Structure 1
Amino acid sequence: MRRWGTGLAAMVLAGGGLAVTAGTAGAVTASSAKAAAACETGWGSGEKTAQAAGHKPLENIRTGQHACYDRMVFDVKGGTAADRVGYRVNYVDTLYQDGSGEAIPVGGGAVLEIRVAAPSYDPETGGESYPGRARKPLPGVDITGYKTFKDTRFGASFEGDTQIGLGVRARLPFRVFQSGGNVVVDVAHSWNAVR
Protein backbone atom coordinates (compact mmCIF):
# COMPACT_ATOMS: atom_id res chain seq x y z
CA MET A 1 0.00 0.00 0.00
CA ARG A 2 2.83 2.38 0.85
CA ARG A 3 4.46 1.93 -2.61
CA TRP A 4 1.16 2.61 -4.37
CA GLY A 5 0.69 5.89 -2.42
CA THR A 6 4.23 7.00 -3.20
CA GLY A 7 3.78 6.19 -6.90
CA LEU A 8 0.49 8.08 -7.05
CA ALA A 9 2.03 11.10 -5.34
CA ALA A 10 4.88 11.03 -7.86
CA MET A 11 2.38 10.99 -10.74
CA VAL A 12 0.60 14.05 -9.34
CA LEU A 13 3.89 15.90 -8.90
CA ALA A 14 4.89 14.97 -12.44
CA GLY A 15 1.67 16.47 -13.78
CA GLY A 16 -0.47 13.36 -14.04
CA GLY A 17 -3.54 15.48 -13.28
CA LEU A 18 -5.03 12.89 -10.87
CA ALA A 19 -6.88 14.00 -7.76
CA VAL A 20 -5.34 12.81 -4.50
CA THR A 21 -6.94 13.16 -1.09
CA ALA A 22 -4.38 13.63 1.65
CA GLY A 23 -6.13 13.43 5.01
CA THR A 24 -7.83 16.70 5.88
CA ALA A 25 -5.60 18.72 3.54
CA GLY A 26 -8.09 18.24 0.69
CA ALA A 27 -7.63 17.28 -2.93
CA VAL A 28 -4.79 18.36 -5.17
CA THR A 29 -6.07 18.69 -8.73
CA ALA A 30 -4.65 19.88 -12.01
CA SER A 31 -6.78 23.04 -11.83
CA SER A 32 -5.54 23.97 -8.33
CA ALA A 33 -1.94 23.28 -9.41
CA LYS A 34 -2.47 25.59 -12.43
CA ALA A 35 -3.88 28.33 -10.18
CA ALA A 36 -0.83 28.04 -7.91
CA ALA A 37 1.45 28.39 -10.93
CA ALA A 38 -0.10 31.68 -12.11
CA CYS A 39 2.38 34.52 -12.35
CA GLU A 40 1.88 37.94 -10.82
CA THR A 41 1.22 40.53 -13.55
CA GLY A 42 -0.20 43.49 -11.62
CA TRP A 43 3.02 45.50 -11.73
CA GLY A 44 1.89 47.80 -14.55
CA SER A 45 4.07 49.48 -17.15
CA GLY A 46 4.22 53.01 -15.74
CA GLU A 47 7.31 54.81 -14.45
CA LYS A 48 8.85 53.51 -11.21
CA THR A 49 11.09 55.76 -9.07
CA ALA A 50 12.90 55.93 -5.74
CA GLN A 51 14.94 58.79 -4.26
CA ALA A 52 18.64 58.29 -3.59
CA ALA A 53 20.30 58.90 -0.23
CA GLY A 54 23.80 59.08 -1.68
CA HIS A 55 25.82 57.70 -4.57
CA LYS A 56 28.00 54.62 -4.28
CA PRO A 57 29.68 53.16 -7.37
CA LEU A 58 28.09 50.57 -9.63
CA GLU A 59 30.10 47.37 -9.48
CA ASN A 60 28.27 44.99 -11.82
CA ILE A 61 25.12 44.38 -13.87
CA ARG A 62 23.86 40.82 -14.23
CA THR A 63 20.74 39.11 -15.53
CA GLY A 64 18.77 35.93 -14.93
CA GLN A 65 15.76 34.03 -16.22
CA HIS A 66 12.85 33.06 -13.97
CA ALA A 67 9.59 31.17 -14.58
CA CYS A 68 7.51 34.37 -14.87
CA TYR A 69 9.97 37.14 -15.70
CA ASP A 70 13.49 38.09 -16.79
CA ARG A 71 15.59 39.90 -14.17
CA MET A 72 18.36 42.52 -14.29
CA VAL A 73 20.32 43.26 -11.11
CA PHE A 74 22.51 46.31 -10.47
CA ASP A 75 25.16 45.51 -7.84
CA VAL A 76 26.20 48.63 -5.92
CA LYS A 77 29.68 48.44 -4.42
CA GLY A 78 29.51 48.58 -0.64
CA GLY A 79 25.73 49.01 -0.76
CA THR A 80 23.58 47.68 2.07
CA ALA A 81 19.86 47.47 2.82
CA ALA A 82 20.23 50.69 4.85
CA ASP A 83 21.50 52.62 1.79
CA ARG A 84 18.72 54.02 -0.36
CA VAL A 85 19.79 53.54 -3.97
CA GLY A 86 17.73 55.79 -6.21
CA TYR A 87 16.34 54.79 -9.60
CA ARG A 88 13.98 55.82 -12.37
CA VAL A 89 12.71 53.20 -14.82
CA ASN A 90 10.25 53.88 -17.64
CA TYR A 91 9.42 52.99 -21.23
CA VAL A 92 10.74 55.40 -23.89
CA ASP A 93 10.30 55.61 -27.64
CA THR A 94 14.02 56.34 -28.13
CA LEU A 95 16.97 56.12 -25.73
CA TYR A 96 18.90 59.39 -25.73
CA GLN A 97 22.36 59.32 -24.17
CA ASP A 98 22.74 61.51 -21.09
CA GLY A 99 25.14 64.36 -21.67
CA SER A 100 25.33 64.20 -25.49
CA GLY A 101 21.63 63.73 -26.30
CA GLU A 102 22.53 61.30 -29.11
CA ALA A 103 20.02 58.56 -29.93
CA ILE A 104 21.17 55.04 -29.04
CA PRO A 105 19.52 52.22 -31.04
CA VAL A 106 18.16 49.47 -28.78
CA GLY A 107 16.69 46.28 -30.25
CA GLY A 108 13.33 44.79 -29.26
CA GLY A 109 9.68 45.77 -29.45
CA ALA A 110 9.96 48.28 -26.58
CA VAL A 111 12.74 50.05 -24.68
CA LEU A 112 13.04 50.47 -20.91
CA GLU A 113 15.30 53.33 -19.86
CA ILE A 114 16.87 52.44 -16.52
CA ARG A 115 18.67 55.05 -14.43
CA VAL A 116 20.31 53.93 -11.20
CA ALA A 117 21.90 56.39 -8.76
CA ALA A 118 25.21 54.53 -8.86
CA PRO A 119 27.87 55.91 -11.22
CA SER A 120 30.19 53.62 -13.18
CA TYR A 121 33.11 55.32 -11.43
CA ASP A 122 34.09 55.79 -7.80
CA PRO A 123 32.91 59.29 -6.81
CA GLU A 124 35.82 59.61 -4.34
CA THR A 125 38.68 58.58 -6.64
CA GLY A 126 37.25 58.99 -10.14
CA GLY A 127 38.44 55.46 -10.97
CA GLU A 128 36.27 53.22 -13.15
CA SER A 129 34.09 50.76 -11.22
CA TYR A 130 32.01 49.33 -14.11
CA PRO A 131 33.41 48.96 -17.66
CA GLY A 132 30.31 50.01 -19.65
CA ARG A 133 30.87 51.89 -22.91
CA ALA A 134 28.34 54.20 -24.55
CA ARG A 135 26.14 52.54 -27.20
CA LYS A 136 27.67 49.08 -26.58
CA PRO A 137 26.01 45.96 -25.11
CA LEU A 138 26.55 45.49 -21.38
CA PRO A 139 29.88 43.74 -20.73
CA GLY A 140 29.55 40.16 -19.52
CA VAL A 141 25.76 40.07 -20.01
CA ASP A 142 24.42 37.39 -22.38
CA ILE A 143 20.64 37.44 -22.85
CA THR A 144 20.54 34.86 -25.64
CA GLY A 145 17.40 32.74 -25.28
CA TYR A 146 15.63 35.02 -22.80
CA LYS A 147 11.83 35.23 -23.18
CA THR A 148 11.55 38.99 -22.55
CA PHE A 149 15.01 40.60 -22.76
CA LYS A 150 16.18 41.22 -26.34
CA ASP A 151 18.99 43.82 -26.13
CA THR A 152 21.09 45.78 -23.63
CA ARG A 153 22.91 49.06 -24.21
CA PHE A 154 25.05 51.18 -21.93
CA GLY A 155 23.95 54.78 -22.18
CA ALA A 156 26.16 56.84 -19.92
CA SER A 157 27.27 57.52 -16.40
CA PHE A 158 26.45 61.17 -15.90
CA GLU A 159 26.00 63.33 -12.81
CA GLY A 160 25.99 60.33 -10.46
CA ASP A 161 23.54 58.17 -12.41
CA THR A 162 24.16 55.21 -14.71
CA GLN A 163 21.84 54.99 -17.72
CA ILE A 164 20.99 51.67 -19.41
CA GLY A 165 18.72 50.84 -22.34
CA LEU A 166 16.97 47.49 -22.00
CA GLY A 167 15.27 46.21 -25.14
CA VAL A 168 12.32 43.95 -24.38
CA ARG A 169 9.97 41.90 -26.55
CA ALA A 170 6.98 44.24 -26.01
CA ARG A 171 5.74 46.85 -23.57
CA LEU A 172 5.23 44.45 -20.65
CA PRO A 173 4.60 44.94 -16.92
CA PHE A 174 7.67 45.42 -14.77
CA ARG A 175 8.66 46.02 -11.16
CA VAL A 176 11.69 47.65 -9.56
CA PHE A 177 12.87 47.24 -5.97
CA GLN A 178 15.94 47.38 -3.80
CA SER A 179 17.25 44.19 -2.22
CA GLY A 180 20.21 44.74 0.07
CA GLY A 181 22.54 47.04 -1.81
CA ASN A 182 21.17 45.98 -5.20
CA VAL A 183 18.52 47.44 -7.50
CA VAL A 184 16.41 44.74 -9.18
CA VAL A 185 14.35 45.16 -12.37
CA ASP A 186 11.94 42.32 -13.29
CA VAL A 187 10.06 42.35 -16.60
CA ALA A 188 7.15 39.87 -16.91
CA HIS A 189 7.00 37.43 -19.81
CA SER A 190 3.43 38.53 -20.59
CA TRP A 191 0.44 40.44 -19.22
CA ASN A 192 -1.39 37.18 -18.43
CA ALA A 193 1.54 34.99 -17.53
CA VAL A 194 1.18 31.40 -16.44
CA ARG A 195 4.28 29.27 -15.86
Structure 2
Amino acid sequence: MNKRLAAVLLALLTVFTFMPVASAQSTPTLADIRTGRHAGFDRVVLDLSGLPTEHRVREVTGVANCGSGNPIAVPGNEILEVVLIGAAAHDDAGNPTYTGSRNFPTPGLTSVRGVALTCDFEATLGIAVGYGNTSSWHRVFTLTGPNRLVIDVGQ
Protein backbone atom coordinates (compact mmCIF):
# COMPACT_ATOMS: atom_id res chain seq x y z
CA MET A 1 0.00 0.00 0.00
CA ASN A 2 2.84 2.42 0.77
CA LYS A 3 4.37 1.90 -2.68
CA ARG A 4 1.01 2.60 -4.29
CA LEU A 5 0.50 5.77 -2.25
CA ALA A 6 4.03 6.90 -3.09
CA ALA A 7 3.36 6.32 -6.80
CA VAL A 8 0.14 8.37 -6.63
CA LEU A 9 1.89 11.19 -4.77
CA LEU A 10 4.75 11.15 -7.25
CA ALA A 11 2.28 11.32 -10.15
CA LEU A 12 0.44 14.26 -8.56
CA LEU A 13 3.69 16.05 -7.83
CA THR A 14 4.75 15.60 -11.45
CA VAL A 15 1.46 17.02 -12.76
CA PHE A 16 1.50 20.05 -10.46
CA THR A 17 5.20 20.72 -11.04
CA PHE A 18 4.73 21.05 -14.82
CA MET A 19 1.40 22.92 -14.83
CA PRO A 20 1.76 26.32 -16.44
CA VAL A 21 1.59 29.17 -13.99
CA ALA A 22 -0.47 32.24 -14.86
CA SER A 23 1.84 35.05 -15.82
CA ALA A 24 1.52 38.76 -15.35
CA GLN A 25 -0.12 40.77 -18.12
CA SER A 26 2.21 40.41 -21.09
CA THR A 27 1.14 43.53 -23.01
CA PRO A 28 0.95 47.04 -21.54
CA THR A 29 -2.69 48.10 -21.28
CA LEU A 30 -4.61 51.35 -21.55
CA ALA A 31 -6.29 52.41 -18.32
CA ASP A 32 -7.53 55.92 -19.13
CA ILE A 33 -7.53 58.75 -21.68
CA ARG A 34 -7.29 62.23 -20.20
CA THR A 35 -7.30 65.64 -21.86
CA GLY A 36 -6.30 69.08 -20.65
CA ARG A 37 -5.65 72.64 -21.74
CA HIS A 38 -2.23 74.20 -21.17
CA ALA A 39 -0.71 77.55 -22.10
CA GLY A 40 -0.10 77.32 -25.86
CA PHE A 41 -1.21 73.70 -26.38
CA ASP A 42 -3.76 71.00 -25.58
CA ARG A 43 -2.69 67.66 -24.16
CA VAL A 44 -4.07 64.13 -24.55
CA VAL A 45 -2.66 61.59 -22.08
CA LEU A 46 -2.95 57.82 -22.41
CA ASP A 47 -2.45 56.22 -18.99
CA LEU A 48 -0.79 52.81 -19.48
CA SER A 49 0.26 49.90 -17.28
CA GLY A 50 3.62 49.84 -19.08
CA LEU A 51 5.24 51.44 -22.08
CA PRO A 52 4.60 50.20 -25.63
CA THR A 53 7.43 48.77 -27.71
CA GLU A 54 7.15 51.77 -30.04
CA HIS A 55 4.69 54.37 -31.28
CA ARG A 56 4.10 55.76 -34.74
CA VAL A 57 2.62 59.15 -35.54
CA ARG A 58 1.23 60.50 -38.81
CA GLU A 59 -1.20 63.09 -40.06
CA VAL A 60 -4.10 61.52 -41.96
CA THR A 61 -7.26 62.70 -43.68
CA GLY A 62 -9.46 60.01 -42.12
CA VAL A 63 -9.39 56.96 -39.86
CA ALA A 64 -11.19 53.62 -39.80
CA ASN A 65 -11.74 50.88 -37.27
CA CYS A 66 -8.89 48.41 -37.74
CA GLY A 67 -11.20 45.41 -37.30
CA SER A 68 -14.20 46.34 -39.42
CA GLY A 69 -12.71 48.93 -41.74
CA ASN A 70 -15.69 51.19 -41.00
CA PRO A 71 -14.82 54.89 -41.03
CA ILE A 72 -14.65 56.67 -37.68
CA ALA A 73 -15.73 60.31 -37.57
CA VAL A 74 -13.33 62.45 -35.55
CA PRO A 75 -14.16 66.16 -35.08
CA GLY A 76 -11.62 68.65 -36.44
CA ASN A 77 -10.02 69.80 -39.68
CA GLU A 78 -6.93 67.61 -39.23
CA ILE A 79 -6.36 64.17 -37.68
CA LEU A 80 -3.25 62.95 -35.94
CA GLU A 81 -3.11 59.15 -35.87
CA VAL A 82 -1.00 57.59 -33.12
CA VAL A 83 -0.40 53.83 -33.21
CA LEU A 84 1.12 52.09 -30.20
CA ILE A 85 2.86 48.84 -31.07
CA GLY A 86 2.86 46.48 -28.11
CA ALA A 87 -0.15 47.92 -26.24
CA ALA A 88 -3.84 47.06 -25.84
CA ALA A 89 -7.07 48.25 -24.25
CA HIS A 90 -7.82 44.76 -22.91
CA ASP A 91 -6.04 42.21 -20.74
CA ASP A 92 -4.76 38.77 -21.76
CA ALA A 93 -8.18 37.26 -20.97
CA GLY A 94 -9.93 39.73 -23.31
CA ASN A 95 -11.43 41.88 -20.54
CA PRO A 96 -11.41 45.63 -21.27
CA THR A 97 -8.90 47.65 -19.27
CA TYR A 98 -10.19 50.93 -20.70
CA THR A 99 -13.93 51.37 -20.19
CA GLY A 100 -14.31 55.02 -21.17
CA SER A 101 -15.76 56.43 -24.35
CA ARG A 102 -14.17 55.17 -27.55
CA ASN A 103 -14.98 58.37 -29.45
CA PHE A 104 -15.56 61.66 -27.69
CA PRO A 105 -15.48 65.41 -28.30
CA THR A 106 -13.19 67.55 -26.14
CA PRO A 107 -15.13 70.70 -25.19
CA GLY A 108 -13.09 73.40 -23.50
CA LEU A 109 -9.91 72.68 -25.43
CA THR A 110 -8.53 75.18 -27.92
CA SER A 111 -6.86 72.92 -30.50
CA VAL A 112 -8.01 69.33 -29.90
CA ARG A 113 -11.59 68.75 -31.05
CA GLY A 114 -11.99 65.04 -30.40
CA VAL A 115 -10.31 61.74 -29.56
CA ALA A 116 -11.18 58.27 -30.88
CA LEU A 117 -9.89 54.79 -30.14
CA THR A 118 -9.44 53.30 -33.63
CA CYS A 119 -7.72 49.97 -33.00
CA ASP A 120 -7.32 47.41 -30.23
CA PHE A 121 -6.13 44.26 -31.97
CA GLU A 122 -3.11 41.97 -31.67
CA ALA A 123 -1.13 44.29 -29.38
CA THR A 124 -1.76 47.29 -31.61
CA LEU A 125 -3.59 50.24 -30.11
CA GLY A 126 -4.70 53.11 -32.34
CA ILE A 127 -5.76 56.58 -31.25
CA ALA A 128 -6.93 59.44 -33.46
CA VAL A 129 -6.77 63.04 -32.28
CA GLY A 130 -8.80 65.54 -34.28
CA TYR A 131 -7.71 69.16 -34.15
CA GLY A 132 -8.91 72.39 -35.69
CA ASN A 133 -5.95 74.49 -36.80
CA THR A 134 -4.20 73.13 -39.90
CA SER A 135 -0.96 74.89 -38.92
CA SER A 136 -0.83 73.41 -35.39
CA TRP A 137 2.33 71.66 -34.27
CA HIS A 138 2.32 68.36 -32.40
CA ARG A 139 4.66 66.23 -30.33
CA VAL A 140 4.23 62.71 -28.98
CA PHE A 141 6.37 61.19 -26.24
CA THR A 142 6.31 58.75 -23.34
CA LEU A 143 6.78 59.40 -19.63
CA THR A 144 7.23 57.08 -16.67
CA GLY A 145 6.18 57.19 -13.03
CA PRO A 146 3.34 56.57 -13.92
CA ASN A 147 3.62 55.20 -17.46
CA ARG A 148 1.87 57.29 -20.08
CA LEU A 149 1.97 58.40 -23.69
CA VAL A 150 1.51 62.14 -24.15
CA ILE A 151 0.16 63.86 -27.26
CA ASP A 152 0.51 67.64 -27.36
CA VAL A 153 -1.16 69.73 -30.06
CA GLY A 154 -0.17 73.40 -30.32
CA GLN A 155 -2.45 76.31 -31.02
Q: Residues 22-171 of structure 1 correspond to what in structure 2 (within 5 A)?
A: 55-77=27-49, 79=50, 83=51, 85-117=53-85, 118-123=87-92, 125-132=93-100, 136-137=103-104, 143-171=106-134
Q: Which runs of 5+ in 2 are unaligned?
A: 1-25
Q: C-alpha distance in 2, partners of 1:155/1:84?
A: 16
Q: Contact (CA 8 Å) 1:55, 1:85: kept in 2 or not?
A: no
Distance 1:116 1:132 in 2: 18
Displacement of 1:133 in angstroms is: 6.0
Please report the TM-score for the alignment, with normalisation by the length of structure 1: 0.59
Could you say if the C-alpha distance between residues 92 and 164 of structure 1 is closer, same or farther in structure 2, counting changes exceeding 3 Å?
same
Q: State the distance in 2 between where 1:159 and 1:129 align.
A: 15
Could you say what secondary structure the match of 1:146 adopts? coil
Unaligned runs of 5+ in 1: 1-53, 190-195
- Report how far residue 121 of structure 1 moved: 0.3
Q: Aligned letter for 1:186?
A: D
Runs ≥4 in structure 1, deviation > 4 angstroms? none
Matches of 1:64 and 1:182, distance apart in 2: 14
Larger strand proportion, structure 1 or 2? 2
Identity %: 31
Compared with structure 1, are the counterparts of its residues 160 and 132 closer, same or farther at alpha carbon in structure 2 (3 Å cutoff)? farther
Q: Give 1:84 shift.
A: 5.1
| TM-score using structure 2 length | 0.73
**Is this contact kept in 1: 2:28–2:52, CA < 8 A?**
no
Amino acid aligned to 1:128? P
Distance (whole Å) between structure 2 residues aligned to residue 152 and residue 57 of structure 1: 18
Root-mean-square deviation (CA, aligned residues, Å) is 1.9
Counterpart residue type for residue 182 of structure 1? R
**Residue 102 (structure 1) shift:** 1.4
Instruction: Say how many residue pairs are matched.
Output: 126
